[in-house]
A and B are shown apart, each in its own frame.
Chain A
Amino acid sequence: MQKYILRRTVEIIVTLFIIITLLFVLFRLAPGDPTSMIIDPKMTPEDIESLREAFGLNDPLWLQYLKYLKNILKGEFGNSFHYAEPVLDIIKEKLLNTILLFTTATILAALAGISLGKFIAWKRGTKIEATITFVGLLLHTIFLPWFALLAIWIFGFKFRWFPINGMLTPEIWLDPTISFFYKILDVIHHMILPLFVLFTIDFSRSMLVMKSSMLDTLREDYIITAKAKGLKEKIIRNKHAARNAMLPVVTSVSLSIAFSINGSAITETVFSWPGLGRELVFAVSNNDYPLAQASFLLISTLVLVANLVADVLYAYLDPRIKY
């Protein structure tokens, strides 16, 4: 097990290294060089030359690459063009916000999907099963940004139950008389809508996977044995069938983490949730290369780590798997 985790970690580091290298190649291939963003038509050729020198663009390519690697290892991504602050400081806080939204949604969705999928597989052939499956299919294929807009429109604008953007209300957080508990409640209040949108999409997928996996498991011999022994239905369902049927759900979660991160970027943008995905979209729209590069790298790392967690969880859940 430890060996397996170690091997996967090494794999992740290699993958990250490749992504970092690809980013370097990509940004060097870009039309114009990194200085073209700053160069002013009024600058003399000498000025431009000293600027290129300062950026290290006159070095041979391999030296530039090594310097680039060294900077990334030290966490120096340069200054953001837009904020004129070190990129690392900007994205550090955004990372936490993304992790908060994304992991809550993924975990809640997996748990809810497993329970409901288990239930409807047990009721196979009934009206309830058909209805829930159909609704699940509709939710699975709904267009995420549009769904987010609808949620804002209905729950935020028509009923005014939830705030429609941001992560907190500044007046509440700047007021020292309000207790910390209410401040946390305020964040949760802001979080419900984006969470609901992400949750629904993830949930319908894990429910459908759980249902189909459960249907497979129910045909196994040990289920017939359990029935013949006269065990209670609930015990057969929860202990004999569901435990084994859960494994493909975990795999599907681990396979769809990249997909969910895509989704959280969209949701963050629509709800103005100050996370990494929104920062990436924002940086690219503003030609803020250092910020875009760093947030992309951080998101990739996030995806890889989440994959590792899902894989380890899988190994833990299925003792038959030996590494």
Chain B
Amino acid sequence: MNREELNKNRKLERSEYLNFFTRKRFFFLKRLYSNWLIFKKNKMGLLGVVLLILFGLMALASFLPPLINPMYQPMIGVDPMILGTEGPSSTHWLGTDFMGRDIFSQLLMGARIAFMIGISAALMTVAIGTTFGLLAGYFGKTVDFLLMRFADIILVLPDLLVIIILSAVIGKLSIWNIVVVIALLGWAGTARVIRSQVLTLKERPYVDAAKLAGSHPFGVIHRHIVPNIIPLSLLYMTFRVTSAILVEAALSFLGFGDTSTVSWGMMLQWCWKTGNMFRAPYWLLPPGISISLITLSFYLIGRAMDEIVNPRLRER
């Protein structure tokens, strides 16, 4: 073999190497696209996405009103012309609350808070749940027994009431404390599902092969098990987002929330506690509808994703 030929071979090899990588990336995109095709067929899932985009726009728009006029600041902006609650007008699209604050800008701010709470709590919950599920499923025996008994206890605790008790002991909880506690109380369901998935995954031939080749247990988990449970974790994340938003809203509604933030639950509590719920539908309706619809949106997306993860559901 002469030198020229060798060089040519090398080039070919390199290009094939590159080709391999791009092909792999392409494959990933293709898979994403085919999943989207399945998702698209689910009309309810699409409705969920549309709702979610709307709420996302609301959250983004929440930065605008205070820039237009300082009286639109959701917590401290007070319209000097208005003393109490008043119905919708051209300056206040959804009216004002008991202190003369603009309800529309509070509603927008609520969307931002809901996303912050929902997504951060869900990320934490699923991270804890996935880790515990992996450990319990993969290592089995004592680890499994201890973690699952722990999960059983967490599972039967009524989370809202536990947070209320915590706020009795610690005092008023800040919004981030609430998020952390929601995460600590919500991982059990995810951990159980992940564990049962890991139990079947670890019996696969490629896991045996990796073990025989001398991989470290964490190496096996990292390379062969985690990639297979990521879709399931993501699915559970969408469900956890809704429950985090709901728990925070209920907590604020009952008067144990963080009074320095305007969440939708807090708006409802103000309306209810100041005795305006029979008089001010413009105040009572928007936050309730928003909480219900954002829950619906994540729930519908979760159901549509469920059909991708569990192909069995599609055949019906």
Is B256 close to A, CB under 8 A? yes
- B165, B284, B300, B316: the one within 8 Å of A216 (CB): B316
- Stretch of B21-29, B127-135, B200-208, B242-250 that contacts chain A: B242-250
Bound complex: CA A149 to CA B255 (Å): 15
What 1/0 mask marks residues of chain A from 14 to 32 whose CB sits below 8 Å from any chain B CB?
A: 0100110001001101110
Is A235 close to B, CB under 8 A? no
What 1/0 mask marks residues of chain A from 192 to 214 whose CB sits below 8 Å from any chain B CB?
A: 00000000000000000000100
Q: Is the CB of B255 within 8 A of A285?
A: yes
Is B158 close to A, CB under 8 A? yes
| Chain B, Cβ-Cβ closest to A302 | B158
Q: How far is the CB of B279 from chain A (nearest CB, A)?
A: 10
Q: How far is the CB of B95 from chain A (nearest CB, A)?
A: 17
Q: How far is the CB of A128 from chain B (nearest CB, A)?
A: 16
Once A146-B291, A149-B277 are accepted as A-B contacts, the answer to whether A292 and B165 lie under 8 Å apart by CB is: yes
What 1/0 mask marks residues of chain A from 162 to 176 whose CB sits below 8 Å from any chain B CB?
A: 000000000000000
Q: How far is the CB of B51 from chain A (nearest CB, A)?
A: 11
Q: Is the CB of A146 within 8 A of B268?
A: yes
Bound complex: CA A285 to CA B257 (Å): 12
Q: How far is the CB of B110 from chain A (nearest CB, A)?
A: 12
| Chain B, Cβ-Cβ closest to A277 | B161
Which residues of chain B are near A281, meaning CB under 8 Å?
A: 164, 254-255
- B162, B253, B291: the one within 8 Å of A266 (CB): B253
- B153, B155, B256, B295: the one within 8 Å of A18 (CB): B153
Bound complex: CA A145 to CA B291 (Å): 11
Interface of A is mostly: helix
Is B68 close to A, CB under 8 A? no
Q: Is the CB of B153 within 8 A of A143?
A: no
Is B217 close to A, CB under 8 A? no
Bound complex: CA A138 to CA B295 (Å): 9
Which residues of chain B are near A277, meaning CB under 8 Å?
A: 161
Q: How far is the CB of B167 from chain A (nearest CB, A)?
A: 7
Q: Is the CB of A141 within 8 A of B296?
A: yes
Bound complex: CA A282 to CA B171 (Å): 15
Bound complex: CA A300 to CA B268 (Å): 28
Interface centre among B189, B253, B295 (most CB of A within 10 A): B253
Q: Is the CB of B250 within 8 A of A144?
A: yes
Q: Is the CB of A261 within 8 A of B253?
A: no
Which residues of chain A are near B44, meaning CB under 8 Å?
A: 134, 137
Interface centre among B167, B189, B296 (most CB of A within 10 A): B296
Which residues of chain A are near B316, meaning CB under 8 Å?
A: 124, 215-216, 219
| Chain B, Cβ-Cβ closest to A158 | B278
Show 8 A/B contacts (Cβ-Cβ < 8 Å), sorted by A.
A18-B153, A138-B296, A153-B284, A255-B155, A262-B159, A277-B161, A280-B164, A284-B167
Query: Which B residues contact A (CB, under 8 angstroms)?
Result: 44, 152-153, 155-162, 164-171, 189, 242, 246, 249-250, 253-256, 265, 268, 272, 277-278, 284, 287-288, 291-293, 295-296, 299-300, 313, 315-316
Given contacts A124-B316, A150-B288, 6 further A-B contacts (CB under 8 A): A26-B165, A30-B169, A145-B250, A258-B155, A266-B160, A296-B162
